[in-house]
Amino acid sequence: MTATEQKTSAKDRVLHCSKCNTVALVRQPKSFLHWLLSLEPYTCIRCSAHSRKFHFDWSLLAPVCLLYLLIPLLGFLVARSYLFNPQTVSAQSDIDALARARSVSGGQLTAFEQMLTKKPKSTLDNAMIVRLWNARIGAEIIRQMIHTSIPDFDLSPNAIIALHEDHVDERIILAMIDATYSGR
C-alpha cells in the first residue's frame, strides 16, 4: 500500500461488491433523501450494480434536535396566544378590579355583579341539535353541549320521531331527555 492509498478518506473508500464479489464499490454523491435516511450510495466499477449502506451522519442530528425543540415551542406560543387574548385579559382585569374594590370596602359582590361576571349558558333546542348532527359534530361533543346548556327541547312523540328520521344518535336523544327532566 502506498502513502496516497493510506490517506484516502472514508468517503472515498473502495468496498466489496456483493453482486460480482470484487472490491470495486465506489461511493457516489448523496441526494437529500440519502442524507435524510443516513444512507451512503455506492456503485460497482466492474458490474455497475448500485447499493446503499447505512452510515450514521452526525450532521443529521442537529436538524432533528432543532425540530424536536421547535414543535413544542410553536405549540406553547399558539396556546399562549389563545390563553392571553387581550380581550379576555381586559375583561378579567375588570372583574378583578371590581372584586378588589369590594374587598377593600369590606363588602361582597352583589348578586347583580356576580351575574355580570359569569358567562350565561346557551340554550339548545331540537333544531340546533339537528343542525349540529348534520354538520357531523361528534355525538360526545353534542352530549357535552347538552349537559352544559339550558335545555329547551321538544320531547313530544312527534319531535322524537322527527329526530329519529334525521338520523340523530340515540345517545343524544337520551341526553336531551335526561337534561330536560333532571331538573325536576
Q: What is the CATH architecture of 13-57?
A: Single Sheet (2.20)
- Residues of the chain within CATH 2.20.25 domain(s) are 13-57
Q: Could you read off the pLDDT of 68-79 as tens digits, one per residue? A: 888 888 777 777
For the chain, the average pLDDT equals 76
Q: Could you read off the pLDDT of 6-26 as tens digits, one per residue? A: 444 444 555 778 788 778 788
Place of cell 335545555: 151
Length of the chain in terms of residues written: 184
Q: Which amino acid is at 105?
A: S
pTM recorded for the entire structure: 0.38
Is residue 3 pLDDT above 50, yes or no? Answer: no
Would you give the DSSP letter of residue 39?
Answer: E
